[in-house]
Amino acid sequence: MSLDKIIGQLSGHESKVPPVELWDPPYCGEMDIVIKADGSWFYNGTVFKRIALVKLFASVIKKEADEYFLVTPVEKIKITVEDAPFVLTQWQWQGDAKLAMLAATNLDDEFVLDADHPISIEPSGSIYVTVRRNLTAKVHRNVYYQWIDLAKEESNKNGTELCFYSAEQRFVLGVLDN
């Protein structure tokens, strides 16, 4: 499977994010594409310089168990993802009332933090947000510190939690020691 062949198959798709969850093509092997922990993409050890190409490939990532694939309607190719396929790099409040937070990844995926896009905290302390389907973005350190600044302390049976609200959902960033 060549990189050019995959690009050709994907170029005809008009929608920003194809319905890869509906596709179950045969497995065609592995390709030396690596998404580094910082969100940069490499092919055969060389960084992708064309962001449009990275966005095209990112639109067809599928996660099955703990493995990642680029999927077209006719092929499924395994790739390597060091941490998460996306990095959450930006956010802003929507509207003057600050009731919903709009978040964006390094590849310009935009979504509101809500029940469909929850935050999860790993035991290591890393924070992730679900972007789409079962794909996550690691929250960049700068975003995390900005969220900590706006978070409120709320006491409950779990202790004192640092949290904020978006789209009527409560997002916990951590628990303070009591």
Per-residue pLDDT, 73: 93
Residue where a domain terminates, one of 81, 112, 143: 81
65 shares a domain with 109 = no
Domain count, the chain: 2
Per-residue pLDDT, 12: 43
132 shares a domain with 58 = no
Per-residue pLDDT, 176: 82
Sequence letter at residue 133: R
- Tens-level pLDDT at each residue, the chain (178 residues): 444 554 444 444 334 789 999 999 999 999 999 999 999 999 999 999 999 999 999 999 999 999 999 999 999 999 999 999 999 999 999 877 788 999 999 999 999 999 999 999 998 889 999 999 899 999 999 999 999 999 999 998 878 999 999 999 999 998 887 5
Locate tokens 């065609």: which residue? 28
pTM of the prediction? 0.85
Per-residue pLDDT, 11: 44
172 shares a domain with 125 = yes
Sign of CA dihedral 10, 64, 144, 150: positive
Locate tokens 């006719």: which residue? 74
168 shares a domain with 142 = yes
127 shares a domain with 45 = no
Per-residue pLDDT, 15: 44
Beta sheet of 135-139, edge-to-edge order: 110-112, 100-105, 86-94, 135-139, 127-132, 119-121
Per-residue pLDDT, 142: 96
Residue span of the structural domain in which 147 resides: 86-176
Sequence letter at residue 119: I
Closest CA to 144 of 104, 176, 173: 173
